[in-house]
Amino acid sequence: MKNQVQLITYVDRFSGGGFNTLETLIKKEFSGVFGGAHILPFYYPIDGSDAGFDPIDHSLVDHRLGTWTDVKALSDQVEIMADLIVNHMSAQSPEFQDVLEKAEASEFWDLFLKEQDIFPAGITPEEAKQIYRPRPGSCFSKKALKDGREINFWTTFTDNQIDINVYSPAGQAYLEKVLQLFAANGVKIIRLDAAGYAIKKAGTSCFMLDETFAFVNALSKRANELGMETVAEIHSHYQTQVNVATRVDRVYDFALPPLILHTLFSQDVTALFKWLEIAPRNCLTVLDTHDGIGIIDAGPAGDKAGLLNAAQIDALVETIHDKSQGQSRKATGAAASNVDLYQVNCTYYDALGQDNFHYLLARAIQFFAPGVPQVYYGGLLTLSNDMDLLAKTNVGRDINRPYIDPETLTSAKAKTVTQGLLALIALRNSHSAFDGEFSFLASGATAIMKWTEKTTSLALQFNLATRQALIVEEAEQVTIRLDLSSYS
């Protein structure tokens, strides 16, 4: 993986175009800006109940976007990262419809996980309480077979996302088919979507078990054999992320986004730099994504202390709601058909109250933290919450999944804060110091984050109390490379 900033984007959100439009955008509008691109689900259909994360056919590029040939053509411009949706597929898929039609006679009967597969005598209330849930309610959905029987199928997320039995021959063949397609069409990095939920075992949490680690290891090894890297996508307690990082090529640093917000709100760097002391070095860093701003990753879990305590987490969430003028409250939790309750749905820009200095400093901290940075397309253009789309769909995550027309793109690119972000990206991509060693000094409201490669070093120096932030190059003499306040 290139040590350069990556873009996170849907294919169809720019003028309703497909892969050809996205390729032109990356080649012309943002020429040389990105070393890679995480292309969010482009499988058929892109407009299901979970914006492509509930594929009817994981092996088919949605015809409205293009073909696998177009995917491969884009890979000539940037390293492509794609989602392998490990845990589930759509209830509308031909495979599941065949199961409903033929029951045990279907060749796909073992592809889908049923309550009886894990709990032959039925799940008890005590066993149900042990299961880690990303959403309220049961982890099963009753589905009626043609013969009149009702079967409890495992549905970790929604009743349209039927969990796969990854241990079954049919499940293994399904995942292998997608891996082969990725490798043949230029995909270099695979995001293992919801992999933490893939293995279920009676008497456990059914989340990030030892068996899950073994499964992720085997899947990563197979991807490596085909010339691809893997990234584990897991929202959990920070210690889980540290453990997962030792078992995969890359892991997300999901603790970073809430910690940066806490740092800027509280004007105290303590919690952030406590994390940076132990954070995995083989990570991808994000501030915003197609999902909300994860909160659970920085907080406590049961009797395990978090990077932030419960009171700090509550204060963080309420401050986001206040900074966004209540918009995030309308899109979060039970307010707007959310799949999960461990995140706040809001653009990062609005979470910071559209404070340009804080936004650019947040990006600078992200870029100087260990890992390869990713920037979401809405965050790239410093867009605000899309309240119209939220009102139209009543899906909380849509507050940060805007559709962008050419006029919006042009005006957003011209904003001073966007130009500041592009300058940060250019520096992060080009400076050799980022291939060296990371170090920091931090106390109270001030910090220095530094990268050193041989005789060259680059440092981010900031003071939260005085709202000053400089990026300086330390060679024969100190040279100011970027003054963040000049863009705010």
State the pLDDT at residue 339.
44
| DSSP category for residue 435 | G
Res 463 pLDDT > 70:
yes
Question: 286 or 15: which carries more pLDDT confidence?
Answer: 286
Instruction: Please give the share of the chain, as a percent, with pLDDT higher than 70.
Output: 97
CB-CB contact of 387 with 457 (8 Å): no
Q: What is the pLDDT of residue 244?
A: 83
Residues 6+ apart with CB under 8 A from 1: 36, 79, 188, 189, 229, 249, 250, 372
Taking residues 106-127, report their average pLDDT: 96
Residue that wins the pLDDT comparison between 137 and 184? 184
- Core vs surface per residue 188-224: b (16+ CB within 10 A) or e: bbbbbbbbbbbbbeeebebbbbeebbebbeebbebbe
Phi, psi for 215 (deg, rounded to 5): -65, -45
pLDDT at 325: 96
The tokens for 231 are 């990234």
Query: What's residue 247's pLDDT?
Result: 78
Mean pLDDT of 63-76: 96
8 A C-beta contact, residue 271 and residue 464: no
Q: Tell which CATH classification among 3.10.580.20, 3.90.400.10, 3.30.950.10, 3.30.750.24 matches the domain 94-162.
A: 3.90.400.10
| pLDDT tens-digit series, residues 316-339 | 999 999 999 999 998 887 654 444
Question: Which residue, 375, 455, 356, is CA-closest to 415?
Answer: 356
Known catalytic membership, residue 193: yes
Query: Inter-axis angle of helices 169-184 and 210-225, to 10 degrees?
Result: 40
**50, 233, 340, 386: the active-site residue:** 233
Assess whether pLDDT exceeds 60 at residue 341: no
pLDDT at 337: 46
Sign, Cα dihedral of 37, 356, 361, 272? negative
What pLDDT sits at residue 486? Answer: 86
CATH class of 6-85+168-434: alpha beta
Task: Kindly state the tokens that stand for 182.
Answer: 């990725």
Catalytic member of 193, 229, 253, 288: 193
Q: What is the residue-averaged pLDDT of the chain?
A: 93
Residue 338 has a pLDDT of 47
pLDDT score of 126 more than 50:
yes
Residue 475: what pLDDT?
65
Above 90 in pLDDT, residue 185? yes
Determine the Cα–Cα distance for residues 58 and 173; give it in Å rounded to an integer: 13
Is there a catalytic annotation at residue 57? no
The neighbour count for residue 394, using CB atoms within 10 Å, is 12
